[in-house]
Amino acid sequence: MASPIAHVDMDAFFAAVEVRANPKLEGKPLLVGGGPGERQVVTTASYPARRFGIRSGMSVREARARCPTAIFLPVDPARYLSASEELIHLFERFTPLVEPASIDEVFLGLEGLSAEADGGQTLARAIQSAVRREQRLGCSIGLGETKLMAKMATSLHKPDGLTRLTSGDFRREFWPRPTGVLWGVGPESEAALHQLGVRTIGELAACPIARLEGVFGVTASVLVRMAFGEGGGSIVPYFEGLPVRSMGHESTFPVDLVDGRRMERHLLLLADKVSRRLRRAGRSGHCVTLRIRFADGTTITRQRALSTPTDDDRVLYRIAATLLAENVGGQAVRLLGINVGHLVGPGATGFLFPEDQRRQRLEEVRDRLRDRFGEATLIPGGVVALIQDEERRS
């Protein structure tokens, strides 16, 4: 039996990330999109908005006509990329075979993970639970013997779906459906198939390859295999494929912060988390970005470029604290985030002074201790003060 492949598709990802950042949006029709002036289109609609017939690609003008109470937010690429990267690292805890297909979907190879017994369903439920508990997001998962089968399984039940397809299941479910449903068959290919009298996936599976070759050439055999649920290739882990360009963490506060000292302590915690991720990945970055969302919902980002890349939490904190002091001006803050971009790999950071080498060795020892005994083993003093402060307030 072939090892199962999982396809994870985040449910209304952009909208869900915005709701996570602002829980007051929970349950409301939310549109996330962009474009100039009257050309604005919906990139993602929350599920409450979809009940009004609103879909991705629809103009915002039409969407608002369908649902006048819909809330519109512009696309925030940095936020969604940061969330996507955090999800990738979560998936890595379950399997090293993680292949991003887009910002909101990944393929996971479940080979050698005792997933064969139930086709990966137990492991898939554990992944869904971890995403929901740790990231406060929802996802749907498809399981199959191939990437194509897993991808198409995901589409059958959303949101929060879990669907496993065998070869027999695939034929029963999809052969009666139009060829345009098949992953990889676009409108032009579907129209060409219609010219040949092939309208369903089952008819494509039964069509002689010689007949298809006159129109599709060497891809004719590929189309027929796809009709049987075959295709998509093997899993290509992200570290062998698409590079991660930035890493970050952010915190949304249950009560808006007005105390500058508490804000700085949260920055200390965020800087520590980001630096840990950078060191684990063997990366350092040339650009530090501070993200601030104020109590009125206004969000700003401020950046500092570095001549030498860093993974040092002290440097990240110092830059973030400076940017915070320059831009808050006594306003209440709802969210803070630190992101490090323009990443480079191992060996790109030179050691100008002996203390830099000593600092790295010390961080390596500290990381090993925290990996073994838990994050609370060695944490910055300011973070301890923050924890104590939060405990007193609770």
Annotated catalytic residues are 105
Q: Which residue has the tokens 């060191």?
A: 279
Long-range contacts of 150-157 (CB under 8 A, 24+ apart): 150/4, 150/5, 150/6, 150/7, 150/107, 150/232, 151/7, 151/101, 151/107, 151/183, 151/232, 152/181, 152/182, 152/183, 152/229, 153/7, 154/7, 154/8, 154/9, 154/105
Q: How many CA atoms lie within 13 A of 386 on its CB side?
A: 19
Among the residues of the chain, which ranges form H helices? 13-21, 47-50, 60-66, 77-92, 121-135, 147-154, 167-174, 187-195, 201-206, 209-216, 220-227, 260-281, 313-327, 354-373, 381-393
Q: Could you tell me if residue 136 is left (phi over 0), alpha (psi between -120 and 50 degrees) or otherwise beta?
A: left
How far apart CA 81 and CA 39 sit, in angstroms, is 24
Tell me the C-alpha to C-alpha distance, in Å, between residue 9 and each of 104, 106, 163. Answer: 6, 7, 12
The two tokens of residue 286 are: 């040339």
User: And the tokens for 260?
Assistant: 């500058």
Task: Judge whether 289 and 248 are in contact, CB under 8 Å.
Answer: yes
Q: CB neighbours of 203 closer than 8 A, spacing ≥ 6?
A: 179, 197
Going by C-alpha positions, the residue among 137, 70, 59, 124 that lies closest to residue 95 is 124
Query: Could you say which DSSP state residue 136 is in?
Result: -
The SS3 of residue 104 is coil
Asked if 11 and 139 touch (Cβ cutoff 8 Å), the reply is: yes
CA gyration radius, the chain:
24
